[in-house]
Amino acid sequence: MKRARNRTPKDDAPPAKRNEEIITTHMNADFDALASMLGAKKLYPEANLVFAGSQEKNLRNFFLHSTSYLFNFTKLKHIDLDRIRRLVLVDTRQRSRIGKLAELADREDVEIHIYDHHHDSDEDIRGSLEVIKPVGATTTILTEIIREKGIPLSADEATIMCLGIHEDTGSFTFSSTTSEDYRAAAWLMEQGANTNLVADMLTRELTAEQIWLLNDLTTSATTQVINGVEVVIAKVIREEYVGDFAVLVHKFMEMENLKVIIALAQMEDKVYLVARSRTEEINVAEVALAFGGGGHPQAASATIKNRTLIQVEKALQSLLRNRIVPQKKAKDMMSSPVIHILPQATIKDAALALTKYNINVLLVIDEDEKLIGYVTRQVVEKAMYFDLGYLPIKEYTNIEFSTVAPEASLKEVQEQIIEDKLRILPVVESGKVLGVITRTDLLNILVGSPVIPDFLYESRHAAHFPRKKNLAAMLRERLPKKVIQILRDMGSVADMLGFNAYLLGGLVRDILLKRENLDVDVVIEGDGIKFAQEFAEHHQVRVRSHKKFGTAVLIFPDGFKVDVATARLEYYETPAALPNVEVSSLKLDLSRRDFTVNTLAIQLNKREYGTLVDYFGAQKDIREKVIRVLHNLSFVEDPTRVFRAIRFEQRFGFKIGKLTHALIKNAVAINAFKGLSGRRLFMELKLLLMEQEPFRAIERMAEFNLLQFISPHITLTTDLRELLEEIKGVLSWFDLLYLEETHQPWKVYWHGLTAFLDVPALQETAERLQMSDTESLSMISQRRAAKDLLDSLYKCPGNDNYGLYRLLSPFDTETLLYLMARANNKSIKRMISKYFTTLRGSKVLLRGGDLKAMGFRPGPSYKEILDALLAARLNNVVNTKEDEVKFVTERFRTYLQK
């Protein structure tokens, strides 16, 4: 690589002329930061490169002895911040890490573009353009963009960018390394990156000072167990600055094979903190952030001013006690309440319980809550095969079993389940079963992501998502401040009661999809009604509860509502029946949901606030835009889910998964809808027709042969397609009139869907769908009259406005819009259009009081007079109030009082 003199402007240089846009990175910039700035410069060639603060010593040496000719940096003091119109941030989003340039983030006239790979934090700056990916280095992100855009790189530029990737991934050894990092580095090598120089920069020999510093780190290191996690803390003091402190800490970690190391070094007038972690229990980025630094969960650093080493160490100890997530204990891993059976219950009862709850092992517990043993599905099924269903289950209960205490560690649980080959491990305290841990529960914890049944995926090689992801920052971005405060207050109340509180349902899904939604549903592991009452007492809100279902509604003074439910399990006695409800855990509560995309939850308790819980691979399906059921009998249990699958598919632009598609066809083939009440079917149809594009949903219903369940006489013919398309156009036309009246498009589509049914078939459909409420009866009644109305419109003179008004005014807007779409006659379309645009809002100016003042006796004659007056106004006989007075006086002179 060539060398050249440093072309950075001198201290007395004039202010830069072209500083309307600048590229910057975090203070104490490293090679990834530098390489990212170079990459950004390729995307923003007119921007100035500006360091927000100091750089790491390694980077300063690089400038002095290597390719500074590639960079033309402008010193911060030469930048006129008032002239900046675009700020490009790379390798950071944190306000505290860009020094004086943070002022630009608060200006509305500054456009902010962000490229970063760090996790979200509370002080993140928001940009109009954000490219944020969980890769090993920000340089990787920019390399991908440069490659996609076909922007050329010189060999020197490729080397620097390759150096940035190597440094931030530990030459691809850090756990944060991704396949994208490998691909980016490979492409940079194709562009001529010099790997020898990269290796030279990253593996320099230690100086004598660094060797002594490394020795002091090893001798001062102490191991502390904080919340069950071993943390090594080392500290050193030097009068002078010794470079590459982070490199020394990393070497120490590798030498001793440490899981967590936090090193403090007081050098000159600052304290330097470098932290490394290989365990999920401690996120060192949070530790560094608390001291004004930053980084990744596995590697982070901070430079601390105006504090002594002793003060920093004391603050660190306190911080670790609050931030380190305790190692899981049996009570944290178990599922509860425990599904069990009494010993005197029959084998047939056990078979029903195993099927009803969809489990493979059933505990046997007596009336005194003493654990007797357990039975497996295989034993019960074999006993049923031999016609032994009448025998008590205690006859075949396995009474040799293992248990574990609630305080048992993950290691103890792991040893028992694996070494003893247990399917289920009861958690017992004082002889009482508190919960159970299954093999799947343990596997979920050990692999760090939920184990998803294979049948949920088309491929057996689907990538897992991290089980834990914090969405606190995304909540702040997507929800109003008032709602955020409510959620935090709910977390506090749950903590006070010892409950777990979760935000879940469509709102969590739509937060990830960045769709508007303020329907807040909260589930409580505990007592939902008690939680709601406690919250209402502390926050002056009303509460309405439903004890049977364990649900409540919190009603705030401004009318805002939050639905609260106890975590519950539902099971179905028969296909298509309404479910029975029992108290359960979050996991079992989510398992009863219709589709995987609706199974996400966000914890609200203070310690875990914002943590995303994903047991069923919902993030994967959202990313792949797929609608999938949770199990193969989902549509048999509740056939209305078929309509919801179509509704969500159309609303989100997703596709119904391959297996789910086959299961819908199976539900149609076996007529799983025969036990479905007409009212539930009508409500699902109504919701489907309320979607923005119902025509496509109707087409999907036809593809699955679902229209037969609404009426066997409905088929998606060419005529019906054309009518539905015409309805779409008519509704668009009506919306563009901007009339001050509400209408319900779903009714127009319902009229269209049933347009070709004769009167008996229409009545049969209404009865099938149990359309017995006042609104529905009105729709049916108007549809019956619609044919006669069309015949009357054919005969109506074009200039008889009052006659037209009398014909159309008894009908709802939706019926008239349907008729407008249905009519093949342009004259009729014009008449209905005329009614909406000019006739419908017509009113006479005279009132009853005016008539009385004119000498007319109050009585039935008033209606006759006003109707005649309206006819005159509609037919342009009268226009002003004076015209009306004259008309009434002349026309109804004989009605005047003598």
Lowest mean pLDDT among 251-255, 343-347, 658-662, 809-813: 251-255
CA 275/CA 293 separation, integer angstroms: 11
pLDDT on residue 461: 32
Q: Residue 186 half-sphere exposure, CB side, CA atoms within 13 Å?
A: 6
The two tokens of residue 1 are 């690589």
Distance CA 512, CA 600 (A): 10
CA distances from 121 to 211, 232, 477 (A): 36, 25, 12
The DSSP code for 825 is -
The band of 464, judged by pLDDT with boundaries at 50, 70 and 90, is: very low
Mean pLDDT, residues 474-500 taken together = 92
Q: How far is CA 373 from CA 346, 434, 534, in A?
A: 15, 15, 39
Could you tell me if 89 and 24 are in contact, meaning their C-beta atoms sit under 8 angstroms apart?
yes
pLDDT at 719: 94
Q: Report residue 265 as tokens.
A: 């070094």
Please name the helix (run of DSSP H) or strand (run of DSSP E) that holds residue 702, with its range, or none.
Answer: helix 694-703
Q: For residue 583, give Cα distances in angstroms to 197, 431, 564, 598.
A: 63, 22, 14, 20
What pLDDT is attached to residue 581? 47
Q: Which residue has the tokens 């015409």?
A: 726
Of 651, 865, 621, 836, the C-alpha closest to 735 is: 836
C-alpha pair distances (Å), 132 with each of 47, 139, 147, 555: 21, 12, 17, 38
Residue type, 10: K
> Tokens standing for 792?
């009357």
Q: Is 650 left (phi over 0), alpha (psi -120 to 50) or beta?
A: alpha
So what's the pLDDT on residue 2? Answer: 33
705 residue type, one letter: N
Q: Is 627 helix (H, G, I), strand (E, B) or coil?
A: strand
Report the pLDDT value the prediction gives residue 589, as an integer from 0 to 100.
82
Q: Are 273 and 312 in contact (CB under 8 A)?
A: yes
**pLDDT tens for residues 799-821?**
788 888 988 988 999 999 999 99
Distance CA 242, CA 236 (A): 11
897 against 791, higher pLDDT:
791
Check residue 427 and report its DSSP letter: E
pLDDT for the residue numbered 644: 95
Closest CA to 785 of 768, 752, 753, 807: 807
Helix, coil or strand: residue 211: helix
Strands 626-627 and 655-656 turn out to be parallel
Task: State phi, psi for 261 to the nearest 5 degrees.
Answer: -135, 130
Cis peptide before 745 (omega within 30 of 0): no
User: Judging by beta carbons within 10 Å of its beta carbon (0-12, 13-18, 19+), is residue 746 exposed, middle or buried?
Assistant: middle
Task: Give which of 580, 563, 622, 578 is closest to 598, Cα–Cα.
Answer: 622
Lowest model confidence (mean pLDDT) among 145-159, 529-543, 734-748: 734-748
What percent of the chain shows pLDDT beyond 90?
A: 37
Question: In angstroms, what CA-CA distances link 784 with 744, 781, 788?
Answer: 19, 5, 8
pLDDT tier at 838, thresholds 50, 70, 90: confident
Mean pLDDT calculated for residue range 531-538: 93
Mean pLDDT (whole number) for 155-175: 85
Q: What is the pLDDT of residue 13?
A: 37
What number is the average pLDDT over the span 832-853? 88
| Residue 870 vs residues 110, 541, 692, 874: alpha-carbon distances, Å | 59, 50, 38, 6
How many CA atoms lie within 13 Å of 858's alpha carbon, on the beta-carbon side?
A: 6
Q: Which residue has the higher pLDDT, 95 or 645?
A: 645
* Cβ–Cβ under 8 Å, residues 490 and 501: yes
Determine the number of helices (DSSP H) and then strands (DSSP E) in the chain. 36, 28
Residue 791: which pLDDT band, with cuts at 50, 70 and 90? confident
Neighbours of 710 (CB within 10 A): 19
Beta-bridge partners for 264? 235, 273
Q: Does residue 327 carry a pLDDT above 80? A: no
d(CA 892, CA 747): 43
pLDDT at residue 640 is higher than 90: yes
pLDDT of residue 262: 94
d(CA 299, CA 286): 10
**For residue 635, what are its two tokens?**
């549509």
When the pLDDT of each residue in the chain is averaged and rounded to a whole number, the result is 84
447 contact partners, CB below 8 Å, separation of at least 6: 464
Count of CB atoms within 10 A of residue 729's CB?
11
Residue 82 has pLDDT above 80, yes or no: yes
Residue 176 is predicted with a pLDDT of: 78
Task: Determine the average pLDDT of the residues in 113-120.
Answer: 88
Widest CA span of the chain, in angstroms? 125
Per-residue pLDDT at 81: 87
DSSP letters, 25-63, are --SSB-HHHHHHHHHHHHH-TTPEE--SS-B-HHHHHHH
Sheet holding 299-305, edge to edge: 222-226, 229-238, 260-267, 270-277, 299-305, 294-295
- Range 775-782 average pLDDT: 88
Label residue 296 exposed, middle or buried (CB < 10 Å: 0-12, 13-18, 19+): buried
Q: Enumerate the H helices of 192-303 as residue ranges.
A: 195-202, 208-220, 245-256, 284-290
pLDDT of 657 reads: 92
Judged against a pLDDT cut of 60, whether residue 352 lies above it is answered with yes
Side chain identity at residue 771, one-letter code: M
Residue 80, pLDDT > 60, answer yes
Percent of the chain scoring above 70 in pLDDT: 90
In DSSP terms, 435 is beta-bridged to 427
- pLDDT on residue 170: 77
SS3 label, residue 446: helix
Higher pLDDT, 897 or 425: 425
pLDDT tens for each residue of 20-56:
899 999 887 778 888 999 999 999 988 988 888 655 5
Structure confidence at residue 447 (pLDDT): 53
**Mean pLDDT, rounded, for 555-578:** 74
> How far, in Å, CA of 575 to CA of 140, rounded?
52
Residue 502 and residue 603 in contact, taking contact as beta carbons nearer than 8 Å: yes
What is the band of 16 on the pLDDT scale with cuts at 50, 70, 90?
A: very low
Per-residue pLDDT tens for 723-757?
999 999 999 999 888 777 788 999 999 999 999 99
Q: What Cα–Cα distance (Å) separates residue 515 from each residue in 263, 366, 518?
A: 44, 50, 10
Residue 182 is predicted with a pLDDT of 94
Predicted local confidence at residue 205, as pLDDT: 60
What is the pLDDT confidence band of residue 460, given thresholds at 50, 70 and 90? very low
Each residue's pLDDT tens digit, 600-624: 999 999 888 999 998 888 998 999 9
Helix ranges, 439-593 (H): 439-447, 472-478, 481-497, 506-513, 528-539, 586-591
Closest CA to 87 of 150, 123, 44, 53: 44
Cα 632 from chain centroid (whole Å)? 25
**Closest to 29 (Cα-Cα) out of 82, 73, 66, 65:** 73
Q: pLDDT (tens digit, 9 = 90+) per residue, 674-728?
A: 888 999 999 999 999 999 889 999 999 999 999 999 999 999 999 999 999 999 9
Is 363:406 a contact under the CB 8 Å cutoff?
A: no
List of residues 6+ apart from 5 with CB closer than 8 A: 68, 69
Give the separation between CA 679 and CA 59, rounded to whole angstroms.
Answer: 71
